[in-house]
C-alpha cells in the first residue's frame, strides 16, 4: 500500500509517496535525499536520527513515516546552512563541539528543540534534553558549552 503523504518539511509544504511501512528516517534520507539526519543504532538508543515533529524531538528510526502525515517536520537541514548557519551551528564550530560529527545533527536538533521551549537553559536542563543523544567521541562538555553559548547568542545578540 502506497500513499502520497503531505507535510511541512523545514518550512516548505511537500508531498511525497511512501510505502505503509516506510520509516521516517528512510523517507528523509533515501526518498528526499536529506542525509543530514543519521542512522546510528536504528533502535531509539542513540539519537543520531533525531528530528522535530510538531516541535517535539523524536527518533525517526522507529517513527513510521505515515505517522508524520500533516505534521510540521524539522531536520538539521532546516536549521541553517554554510552561508546562513544557525547560532547553534556556529557555536558548535566555535566551541569545538564537533569531532567525527556523526552525532552532531541529532545534537543540534535536540538542542534546537530545547531552546524553542527554554531559551536560556541551565546545565542540568541541557543534559536532560540531550540525554537521548549519544556521542561516541564523548565530547559532551563542549557540546553543553556550545548549547549555552548559542543560547546567549540568541537571547542577547
How far, in Å, CA of 33 to CA of 75, rounded?
12
Beta partners for 50?
59
Considering the complex, state which of residue 1 and residue 82 has its C-beta at the smaller distance from other proteins: 1
Beta partners for 157?
none
- Which of other proteins, ligand FAD, ligand FES, none does 68 bind, CB closer than 5 to 8 A by kind? none
CA distances from 72 to 4, 44, 121, 135, 138 (A): 16, 21, 24, 27, 31
95 interacts with other proteins by CB under 8 A: no
- Which of ligand FES, other proteins, ligand FAD, none does 139 bind, CB closer than 5 to 8 A by kind? ligand FES
- Which of ligand FAD, other proteins, ligand FES, none does 99 bind, CB closer than 5 to 8 A by kind? ligand FES
What DSSP state is assigned to residue 69? T
Q: How many helices (H) and strands (E) does the chain have?
A: 5, 5
Locus of grid cell 528512510:
26
Contact 134, 45 (CB under 8 A): yes
45 interacts with ligand FAD by CB under 6 A: yes
63 interacts with other proteins by CB under 8 A: yes
- Which of ligand FES, ligand FAD, other proteins, none does 23 bind, CB closer than 5 to 8 A by kind? other proteins
Give residues in contact with other proteins (CB under 8 A): 1, 3, 20-21, 23, 42-45, 47, 50, 56-59, 62-64, 66-67, 69, 110, 113, 127-129, 131-133
Give residues in contact with ligand FAD (CB under 6 A): 44-45
Amino acid at each position: 500500500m502506497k500513499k502520497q503523504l503531505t507535510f511541512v518539511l523545514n518550512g516548505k509544504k511537500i508531498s511525497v509517496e511512501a510505502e505503509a511501512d516506510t520509516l521516517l528516517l528512510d523517507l528523509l534520507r533515501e526518498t528526499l535525499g536529506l542525509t543530514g539526519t543519521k542512522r546510528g543504532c536504528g533502535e531509539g538508543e542513540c539519537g543520531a536520527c533525531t528530528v522535530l515533529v510538531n516541535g517535539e524531538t523524536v527518533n525517526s528510526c522507529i517513527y513510521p513515516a505515515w505517522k508524520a502525515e500533516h505534521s510540521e517536520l524539522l531536520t538539521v537541514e532546516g536549521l541553517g546552512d554554510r552561508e546562513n548557519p544557525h547560532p547553534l551551528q556556529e557555536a558548535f564550530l566555535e566551541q569545538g563541539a564537533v569531532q567525527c560529527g556523526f552525532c552532531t545533527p541529532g545534537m543540534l536538533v535536540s538542542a534546537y528543540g530545547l531552546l524553542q521551549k527554554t531559551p536560556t537553559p541551565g546545565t542540568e536542563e541541557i543534559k536532560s534534553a540531550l540525554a537521548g543523544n549519544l556521542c561516541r567521541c564523548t565530547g559532551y562538555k563542549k557540546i553543553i558549552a556550545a548549547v549555552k553559548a548559542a543560547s546567549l547568542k540568541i537571547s542577547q545578540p
